[in-house]
Amino acid sequence: MKWEEPVNARLENFRCNFRWSNATTLLIGWVDTIRICVIRKRNSIEVASRDLPGFIVDPISTFQTTFYISGLAPLTSNQLVVLGCPKEKDAERKSLRPVLCVMEYKLNSSEEICTDSLSLRGYQEYTVNDYSLGCIIEENRYFIVAPKDIVVASLYETDDRVKWLVDHRKFEEAMEVISTHGGSWSLLSVAKLYINHLLALNQFDDAAKLCLRVLGNKKSLWEEEVFKFFERHQLRSVSAYLPTSDDCKLDPHIYELVLYEYLKHDAKGFLNLIKEWPSNLYDCAAVINAIHDNFRKPNANELLEALAILYLHQRDYESALRMYLKLQNEDVFEMIRRYDLYDAIHKMIIPLIQLNRERAFKVLFEKNKISPEIVVQQLEQNQEYLYWYLDALDKVDKSGKYHWKLVNLYAKYEPEKLLPFLKRSNHYPMQEALDVCKRELFYPEMVYLLGQMGNTIEALNIIIEKIQDIEMAIEFCKEHNDSDLWNILIDESVKEPTIVLKLLSGIVDYVDPVAVVEKIKLGQNIPGLRDAVVKLLWDYRLQVKIRKSAQKMQWEFYYERHARVVKRQNRGRCIPSSERCLKCNRPLISMNEHIPPLNDVVAFLCGHVYHTNCVPGGPDNEHCELCNPSDFNKEEGFALLLE
């Protein structure tokens, strides 16, 4: 049977190890290779055709080990016990401790089930050939033979194996053995030892995860193990794994201890727990007191937010609002709506406006929850905020209740809005508004108010002397169309050559330009006057032409209409037999030959028809009584017309 040559070694330097597993299975271990061979009898054809032995060796599995083989023995039908020496050397080039390995094999592969290093005397000086392995298969006993020691090995019982694993701090393996094979050891007892071991190594996170894995919903066990973390000031490590459901709710004191530790060492973690944990796990009042006792400015934001949440849990909404306002957290506006806290913010209006003016006003104007009187009273101490509020209120409330305040506020904070406000509002005292404008020297506003109060001459003087805007003065005079105003304007304008020209171009439709020209002093030098006068004459001529054209059109329209009326009135008119006299109300024409006609009929151009005898004043009367009634018969004529 051919065997593979080892790397960096010679095959003959290694002992070949044999062991019978049973009557037909031979185990061979040489260097670092193991072969499982089966001895079978040749069939009759093979024996007859050749001169061969009656039995043959068939390898059924070949695999390698990570060490050199000193001996091997069977354990089960597909498991071996192998004794070997590591291929590696220590730093001084001496041998490492020999190993005893249990291996499970298949066709051409193997798996190490367990491996133990053996502490034998003088192992540093020994080689692979210095060890051997014997066995008593029936008793499952194995003998490791070394130059100075003989070690007897036997199979572990489950409890022995667990004990050995625990003694060697192999708790995970021990728990796996218990889970698979049972025994007198309980999984919980080993888990507790494992937790203690991890805590001793300061592996607190691993210990906390193990608690979650093995303690389940057993309240007493959790409280017992959590106390171990408390003793080491490591409740933060276990906090993420603590049960918080109703199925396993711990004593409130446990959760409070965790919160206190976070409060002292990790404010952000404290806030996260307040957000995550249900409020029924702990006493909110106790935690609030603890925050006040341990409040630190560097952590103010986290602690204030935690206080706000705790106050919400206690339904102390006013205190929660104060916390959010201190935080400058705009969630306060949504909270006001969600919990209908409009009554609680009466004394917090200024902080709300400071936080977000637009959102604060939306809350203040919402559903008439807060009366403007309350807001105005609160804002009296801050005139700028009062102005913002009343300006916004004016857009949604047209009653004008506070317009008298807005006059002063516009004058102080946004003067450009004052004049449009004065023009659109009728809810302010004009004299007080005028006093404000005089104090602030707001001339356009003064002009408007004086004009509304009827003091147009003073208003015009302000335009001329203070504003010095001739176009504005002309428009003001046009608006009021007062000859006295025009005279004042003309008298003032002729003093300034540049103003005269503007005046001449702006008053054509309102004042006779001759009145302006006549007031110009002889010899007064007015640049551009000739061109202005020429333009004025052209404008005047154009206006004359327009007026004549309009007059011509009116006359043409009149004549055309008149001709149509005359033509219509000159047409013959059919008088039916059913028509009656408008005076006596009898038939105009009698169709009965036995009844003589009353008299002749008179028809006026207006269309009214009478008996001749019924015409007031006789048949020579040229006017219809209904169309031109006399004083004595107006009422009668109207009655007939209506009838």
Over residues 231-257, mean pLDDT? 94
Over residues 605-628, mean pLDDT? 79
Q: Assess if residue 576 is contained within a domain.
A: yes
Domain end among 137, 155, 173: 155
Of 358 and 491, the one with more pLDDT: 358
Q: Assess if residue 468 is contained within a domain.
A: no
Q: Assess if residue 335 is contained within a domain.
A: no
What is the number of structural domains in the chain?
Answer: 2
Contact 244, 221 (CB under 8 A): no
Q: What is the pLDDT of residues 74-85, one digit of tens each?
A: 988 889 999 999
Tokens at 167, concatenated = 């003694």
5-19, 256-270, 467-481, 579-593: which has the minimum mean pLDDT?
A: 579-593
Q: Assess if residue 614 is contained within a domain.
A: yes
Q: Which residue's entry shows tokens 């019924």?
A: 614
| pLDDT mean across residues, the chain | 87
Model confidence band, residue 637 (pLDDT cutoffs 50, 70, 90)? very low
Domain end among 128, 155, 182: 155
Q: What is the pLDDT of residues 363-406, one digit of tens each?
A: 999 877 899 999 999 999 999 999 999 999 999 888 889 999 99
Q: Assess if residue 184 is contained within a domain.
A: no
Is the pLDDT confidence value at 640 over 50?
no
Domain end among 155, 183, 214: 155
Is the pLDDT confidence value at 446 over 60?
yes
SS3 163: helix
Q: Output the CA torsion 622→628→632→637 (10° steps).
A: 110
pLDDT of residue 46: 65
Q: Half-sphere exposure (CA, 13 Å, Cβ side) for 212?
A: 13
Query: Tell me, what CATH number does 104's domain have?
Result: 2.130.10.10
User: Residue 507 and residue 536: Cα distance in Å, rounded?
Assistant: 10
Antiparallel, parallel or unpaired: β 141-145 and 132-136: antiparallel
Is the pLDDT confidence value at 243 over 60?
yes
Model confidence band, residue 481 (pLDDT cutoffs 50, 70, 90)? confident
Query: E strands of 326-469, at which residues?
Result: none
Q: Assess if residue 118 is contained within a domain.
A: yes
Contact 327, 357 (CB under 8 A): no
Over residues 261-272, mean pLDDT? 95
Distance of CA 74 to the CA centre of its chain: 72
pLDDT of residue 299: 92
Where is 561: in which H helix or E strand? helix 529-570
Distance of CA 280 to the CA centre of its chain: 29
Q: Assess if residue 299 is contained within a domain.
A: no
Is the pLDDT confidence value at 211 over 80?
yes
pLDDT of residue 181: 81
- Note down the domain range covering 36: 11-155
Q: What is the pLDDT of residues 570-601, one digit of tens each?
A: 777 788 877 888 888 888 877 766 555 556 88
Q: Assess if residue 450 is contained within a domain.
A: no
